Each structure stands twice: as structure tokens, then as C-alpha cells.
Chains A and B, each alone.
Chain A
């Protein structure tokens, strides 16, 4: 009895405090919060720092407020020092933290497709909109491109709450393979992948496209991304005598070591890899002598245009970024910026500033004038933008070769 009285008193006191606190908050103006969850610890740090800068610039351009609501931003890390890469436990805790914080209205992330698999169902259930500046694994959104239960498994609520501003790997893998055949004149390719969602996914697309376009696949192997070297695998590759080697993987999954061992083992054919290696850290880890054209050349596809090839708003962004930070932004910075802009735009358009209205507003994004051109979100939550580029490495830096508009994604 006494206990019950005590709890009633406690509840009343609590309520009084709440009543007292509520008006104070009102007078200070309402705050909406955007969070991003990107791998900040580890070798992707340079890339993600520029993405975070992009998001911050998008917020600053709006004066830090939208429609009278103050916008607050939190930069969360989904990597752990033990992994040196994204960590499922951290990503899941980030998503839960964002869901629990009622002021959070939008979640920008993730960088790695594997990480998105973890947080997508959580955020979807909570109805919190997620905009990814970096995930390219097609199965996250497109039915028929990944596992049979994808993407339904990421949408427990049955609705679409995940959007991405970057074109997917089913387009990128095909573009890479076509470049390999038409521009590098490769008739035989050896395909390697890192056994991860992103790397194997893009390698599978490459293989499928190769089969369809008459390029012979002389080998398809998943490497151990933690091995000290790949010398013995290189012997196997040399025995198969391919005209080009494709590696589906990232700098973090040892792309540089694969390249190095190919060159050291005397396999001097063109090396192709996807956008997971489109960062300075890859060139630095591979060493300047291994990336030259004399050694066979390195060709990297990217789901968009590199910073120096952007036009319109994109070019303006690069200029402003250089003025502010003193360096040319990494390739994904503009996607961070675009993700931030499209989210702020949706918050602006939403009639009520709650999670459901903002989600609906993001989904309704149509003919958005952004840094990547004019584009919309399609019925799966994907961008309609399909511009890709092929790049090489020259004088120790990336150098643009050509832009390709990817074909419409074909489902199986």
C-alpha cells in the first residue's frame, strides 16, 4: 500500500516535471535530428570523412534549419577497431539508438551493403526513413537480383522505407564487363571476389554479363580477404592465361595485395575492380609501381562521375568543398551531400514533421534537381540516375576515362 502511494507520488512528480519542461522546449524552437551511420574507424575513414563533410554542407546551405525547425546532425560510427571495418553489432546498436531517440527524423547510411542488411529491417519496422549514400548491392531493393527472399526480408512493415542515391551493382558489374570486352579487348577473364555481399554480388553480375556477351570466364574464385598473400592463386591465374582479371571487392578486403601479387607473379594483364577501390587508400596500399599502365593497368568502375567530371550543382559542390576543406573531395562525398539534400528537401515538403510524413515525402521525390543531375526515386527506392564512369590510375592518382550510361537493370 505504501509502495503504491509512493509510486503514484513519483508518477505525479514526473508528470509535473514533464509539464514544466514541455513549454520550455517549445519556446526554444523544435529540433529535428538527422543521423548518419558510416564506418569512421578503419581504412574507409578518408572516404567517409568527406561524406560527412558533404552532409554537413547540405545542412549548412539551409542555414541549419528547415521550415522553422532546427536541424541537428550526429555522425555515428558503424565500425569497430577490432574489425577495422563495419561491424554488425555496432550498426545494429546505431539503428536502435536512432529509433529510440524521438527527435531523429532521418537516417543516412550505410556505406557497406552488408551493414545495410542489419539496420534496414530495424528502421523499416520503426518507420524511420533511411537514405543510403553508398550501398550498391542490388538485392537490397530490386526483386529478382539477389536472394529469393530479398528485398522482402528487409521490409517487415511491408512498406518501402529505404532509398539510395547511388546506382546499383547490377548496372556497374555489367558496365565493367562491357568495358572489359569492348575497350580492353579481353576474350578471357579471371574473376575473383572477396566472398562478401558487395564483392561477390558484383562478381556474379560480371560473370553473368560475360556469359551473355561472349567473354570466356576462365576462373571464378572467392579469396580469403585476410590472407598474407595470394601468390599461389596467382600461379593458377597465370596457368589459365586470362586477358584481364576482375576483382569484386574493396580496399578493406585486400584488393591492393591481390594486385601486388599479380604483378609480382608476372601476371601483367589489365586489373579491373569496382568502386570499393575508388579511394586514395587503394593506390597508396598498392604502391605506385604496381598501378601503372606498363604493369598491365588498373581500371576502376564507379557508380557515378568522379568529382572533377561533375557539372552544374555537382561542380559547384566540388568548388565549395575545395574552398572549405582545401582538398578535392573523395568520390563518395557528393553522394553524402546528395543524400543530405534530398532528405532535407523531403523534410521541407512534409506537411507534418514526423517520421511517417518525412518517409512519404522522400518516397515522393520526383525530378529532384541535385548535384548528380535531375533524378527521381523509383518504386523500389532506387535512383533513376544510371550514369557510371570508368577510371584508371595515372601518375599516382585516379584519372577519368569515360562515362557510360548503364542499361536498364535486367531482372533474372
Chain B
């Protein structure tokens, strides 16, 4: 009883001193520990959502042909270059107002179409002819495709356009214009920043994920995709054109990657020909963490990575962040080899 009173007293003192410290810091713009936590939550979720969109591309392809498509991250990189080219060529950053919003939607949809068709073509050219070869040849082919895309990105950055700074330094990181304002929606006074950029991330990714779930679970195409994933031979015997279904999977995964690349560019405002490697690595890790082949798993894994990254950056040192992310991955794979939400390979009977 006495102990409880003491505890309550201590809590009260803590609360008081916290209030004091908030007051003391408020004038020089420092964040209190709650504000730091809230801010990291926002940052972690936004970063996690972007990773999730890319991770779905990995997991869909893996689910259907058991290929880790290493070119996927670099596909997103090319998507970002495509988006910047469109923005630069049409001057979308000058439109403003309703025109600006329309321009944004156009860039998003255009890039999704570009990435979707590019991914479809990569499948057609580099993976489809190897369908009967060993999984390893397919993997090597994916790594090759990734190299080609990276070098295409390097070339693209050297085009003599104003948005690429005249293309003088092809490999230099490129500035992506701020099409989405950075005003704080929680008001000027709030030290926690929640901006239209964060809203955009949520507003684009959540509907896309719902739409995708609907396609996979409710449509004929989705049914065909699930059938092909479970047993391609049986699916073919049932009259499913598996080549077409696989093509459609690449198309959808690529389109999501296209959306992700624009969101990435709008959120970070910098793109570079090397960005695909890290983006792809994070997304791949997310897909494995959540259970590769599972779509809710990829999203869960991505959110975990986004949040762990931001919390580790705030409460530990930045240099430990990668160690912690991959440490968690190793632990999860030890105790749940099929990932957080991965099925335990029961369908392959």
C-alpha cells in the first residue's frame, strides 16, 4: 500500500517534470520524448508503406513462379526516372492548384503503366524462355536484368534535360521537384510533423492494397493466379493459360512498383540510378520477414521494417539500424522459418 502511494507520487513527479521540460524546451523548438515517439511513428509508417508497395512486387512474383526478381528494385528506379522525365517535359511542377493535382495523378498512372509494361516485357524476354530451366538460371537472369536496368538508369540521368541538371553529371543524385507541399497539417505550432506527403503515401498505398486483395481473392484472374501458384501443371490442365496469368502478375507487380517509385520520389525528393538496390533490398527483406509469397505478410514485414528503422534511429545510434533490422530477420527466420504470416508450405503436396 505504502509502496503504491510512493509509486503514484513518483509518477506524478515525473509527469510534472516532463511538463516542465516541455515548457523549457518549447521555445527553442526541441521535441519532448512523446513528440519524438509520435514523429517516429509517422516517419516509420510512411517509410514502411513505400517499402510495402515494392515488397508486394517481390512477393507476387515469388508466389507464382518461385523467382526472387532481383530486377524489381531497379525497375522502380527506372520508374522514378520516367516520372521525373514526364514532370520535366510537361513542367508539371509549374501547374499548381487543381491542375497540379491532375498532373500528379497523371504522373502516377503513367509511371504505373510504364513500369507494368516494362516488367511484363522483362518477363517475356528474360524469364519466360527459362520457365523449364532450373530455378538458378532464372535467378541469374534476374540479376542480369537488374544490371541492365541500372545501366539504363545511368544513361537516362545523362540526358540533356533541365531536370537532370543538363545531364552533365549522369550519376549525380537528381532533385525531384516538390509537387506535394510540406506544410504541417497538425498546425504551425505542432512540433510533430504530419504533412501532405504522409497523407499521400497512405492515400495511394491503402486503396491500392485493398484493390489488389480484391483482384486476388474475388476475380477470375485472381483465382487463376492462385491456381497457377499452387500447381501450374494442374492449372494448365484445367484450361488456365498460365503464361498469360504469369504475365499479368508481372504487369500488376510492376504497376505497383511504378506507384511506389513516384511515391518514393515525392516523399524523398531525390532519385539516383543506385536507389533501386537499397529500395529493393529493404522490400525483399520485408517480403521474407512477412513470409515470402504472402501479400499481407509483405505489408506487415514492410511496416515492421519501417518502424524498427525509425525507432532504432531515434533511440539507438543510426549505425546500428541495419544490424538490428537484419538481426530481427534472422531471429524470425529461426523461430518461424516461413516468416510472420507465411503459410507453412502445405499447399505443395
A positions within 8 Å CB-CB of B: 41-46, 81-82, 84, 195, 221-224, 226-229, 231-233, 235-236, 238-241, 251, 254, 256-257, 260-261, 264-266, 280-281, 284-287, 289
Contacts and interface: CB of A to CB of B under 8 A. Distances in A.
Contacts of A241: 25, 28-30
A81 B151 contact: yes
A228 B47 contact: yes
A46 B275 CA distance: 21
A235 B39 contact: yes
Contact of B275 (A45, A228, A256): A228
B168 interface: yes
A-B complex: 10 closest residue pairs judged by Cβ atoms: A43-B172, A241-B30, A232-B310, A232-B313, A284-B165, A287-B175, A281-B172, A285-B173, A42-B171, A239-B31
Nearest to B197: A264
A45 B178 contact: no
Interface string B263-294: 01001111011110111001000000000000
Given A238-B29, A238-B31, A254 B268 contact: no
B322 A281 contact: no
Which of B35, B39, B165, B173 has the largest count of A CB atoms less than 10 A from its CB?
B173
A236 B175 contact: no
Interface string B284-323: 0000000000000000000000000111011001110110
A226 B277 contact: yes
Nearest to A195: B319
Contacts of B269: 260, 264, 287
Nearest to A49: B168
Contacts of A229: 47, 267-268
Given A45-B170, A84-B274, A265-B193, 7 more contacts: A43-B172, A221-B318, A228-B50, A232-B40, A238-B31, A239-B35, A251-B173
Interface string B143-171: 00000001100100000000001001111
Contact of B309 (A82, A222, A232): A232
Given A42-B171, A45-B170, A232-B44, A266 B30 contact: no
Interface string B248-275: 0000000000000000100111101111
Contact of A45 (B31, B171, B197, B310): B171
Contacts of B195: 264
Interface in B170-208: 170-175, 177-178, 182, 184, 191, 193, 195, 197
In the complex, which range does the number of interface residues on chain B fall in?
35 or more
A331 B35 CA distance: 42
Contacts of B319: 195, 221-222, 224
A280 B154 CA distance: 18
Contacts of A260: 268-270
Interface string B127-154: 0000000000000000000000011001
B111 interface: no
B197 to A, nearest CB: 8
Contacts of A46: 168-169, 172
Contacts of B177: 287
Contact of A285 (B151, B175, B267, B310): B175
B193 A43 contact: no
B332 interface: no
Which of B40, B177, B193 has the largest count of A CB atoms less than 10 A from its CB?
B193
A221 B318 CA distance: 7
27 contacts: A45-B170, A45-B171, A81-B150, A84-B154, A84-B272, A224-B319, A228-B47, A228-B278, A231-B310, A232-B43, A232-B47, A233-B313, A235-B40, A235-B313, A235-B314, A236-B313, A238-B39, A239-B31, A256-B173, A264-B197, A280-B168, A281-B169, A281-B172, A284-B165, A284-B174, A286-B175, A287-B178
B313 A257 contact: no
A335 to B, nearest CB: 19
Contacts of A257: 173, 268, 270
B36 interface: yes
Which of A251, A256, A286 has the largest count of B CB atoms less than 10 A from its CB?
A256
A233 to B, nearest CB: 5
A228 B76 CA distance: 13
Contacts of B151: 81
